[in-house]
Structure 1
């Protein structure tokens, strides 16, 4: 193998490790890290920005779909997943993620990059400043409409940007339905399974027949990149989920928020500079 390709794979493995760890620790799918990383690697390899960004989003969503199984399973063992709520939000998240993926396939790279950056920036600021106002599960809302609304919002933004949904969903369920933080993280991991799946199907369908995709692409999903990401991602999602119940979430969330703030600003600037 050529040295450049080995470095390409090594960067993806490191990215999958970091993204998987955060997925398990705080219920975040990892796409916030993986989309910019893949976008940078693909554009550096010579792919057009439009192709590179859509492949990055689709492949990150596919990564999120599989790592969420590992994360949700481990959170479930600690009784931190509310499965009925996750299923309700997941059904609506699946449908709206499919729609979001379709909309993303119609946008050019500039607008898509700005959209990604704005969603990350706003959600990151909310995630950074959120405080869990309720520690009692008995105070949580039982209104299914509110959970459906959470699923719809998360699904649409997830399909549009490739973000699995945790960064969006966790603040939503904490403030809209008053779900305790521990259950919000675990339930988010389970809901992302459904949401990411909807986006994955959408990107496969909408990427079929597109010319100029990287080798071994299935629709907009690149299989080689996905394998390099998902193997370390699944392993470290499980480790992160186990560790999350033994460490102070405040410090993890603070570190993650700083990273996502920088990512959000960077993607907005990239999108702006793509316009003539």
Structure 2
């Protein structure tokens, strides 16, 4: 049984995490898991939690936090967007729930080091493509139908659950490169998709951690204290970030997102220490 003393430093650490994650979620259409997972991991380690448990709880709690945070950003994007982003976001999300569930299940039982290296390489390729892409009218290479909804929803949802992230790092490049969406439209669709994929992954981590002596105030691998402290600040910041995204031009958004992808790639390949 854990005997934990929650310090003021620990609480402030989580509040700062919520602010950063919320802003990134609304602005870039991401879940913010790549920020929450390492920050929660180090916070839990500072309380004496073992590496394995701290990592699994960071993944599960991050996915739970992503749900309300992304919904806040999605609400603002849907109001401001001049294009229908609700239908593709929901359709992709319906299959993202399934993919997220299986991704979370696989992550809880199988080491993912090799997969992380593959994904990090893929993200670097995508980011380079976005940086060198000419600023022309975007043209769709493929269009949405039931097959593409199922394939992309399942695939991105699986990756989201596997890595404890919302999936925006994968779905936004797919929407801009293959489907011809403008960056801000892709971000809007991503914020609608992310809560669905995160629901599936969260359920997996709750089930996987059920009955295990995890951590005080936890349901499976989801810690309720971390969850509440983070979302109190991430929800309003996601709304603010979504509003800002419509004031930044297309080129600046692409550069910002490409830099974000490179950071994720380096983090996933363990080149960055945070």
CA distance 1:177–1:270, change in 2 (3 Å): closer
Give the CA deviation at 1:123.
Answer: 2.5
Q: CA deviation at 1:44?
A: 3.0
Which residue does the alignment assign to 1:83?
A: 86
* 1:257–1:15 distance in 2 versus 1, CA, 3 Å: farther
Paired residues of 2:123 and 2:261 also in contact (CA < 8 A): no
- 1:26 offset after TM fit, Å? 1.3
1:236 aligns to 2:232 (yes or no) = no
Provide the rounded CA distance (Å) in 1 between the counterparts of 2:256 and 2:144: 33
Question: How big is the shift at 1:43?
Answer: 2.2
2:122 corresponds in structure 1 to 122
Would the alpha carbon gap of residues 3 and 81 (structure 1) be closer, same or farther in structure 2, given more than 3 Å must change? farther
* Higher helix residue share: 1
Q: Deviations over 1:97-146 (max 9, x none)?
A: 10011111113xxx346655653563255246424877468887133312
Partner of 2:23: 21
**Cα distance, 1:58–1:249 mapped onto 2, change above 3 Å:** farther
Aligned equivalents of 2:120 and 2:66: distance in 1?
16
Alpha carbons 2:100, 2:160 under 8 Å: kept: yes
Contact 1:36/1:263 (<8 A) preserved: no
1:18-57 pair list within 5 angstroms: 18-57=20-59
In structure 2, runs of 5+ residues without a counterpart are none
Q: 1:124 to 1:204 in 2, by over 3 A?
A: farther
Alpha-carbon distance between aligned partners in 1 of 2:117 and 2:233, rounded to the nearest angstrom? 26
RMSD across aligned positions (CA): 2.8
Counterpart CA distance in 2 for 1:162 and 1:139 is 29
2:193 match: 191
The whole-number CA distance in structure 2 between the counterparts of 1:173 and 1:241 is 18
Provide the residue aligned with 1:99 in structure 2.
102
The match for 1:274 is: none
Corresponding residue of 1:218: 219
Gaps of 5+ in 1: 272-276
Tell me which residue corresponds to 2:203. 201
Q: Which residue of 2 aligns with 1:151?
A: 153
Q: Which is worse superposed, 215-224 or 40-49?
A: 40-49
Which stretch of the first structure deviates more once superposed, 239-248 or 250-259?
250-259
- SS in structure 1 of the partner of residue 63 of structure 2: helix
User: What is the distance in 1 between the residues matched to 2:138 and 2:267?
Assistant: 38
> Distance between the aligned counterparts of 2:139 and 2:266, measured in 1?
36
Q: Aligned residues, how many?
A: 266
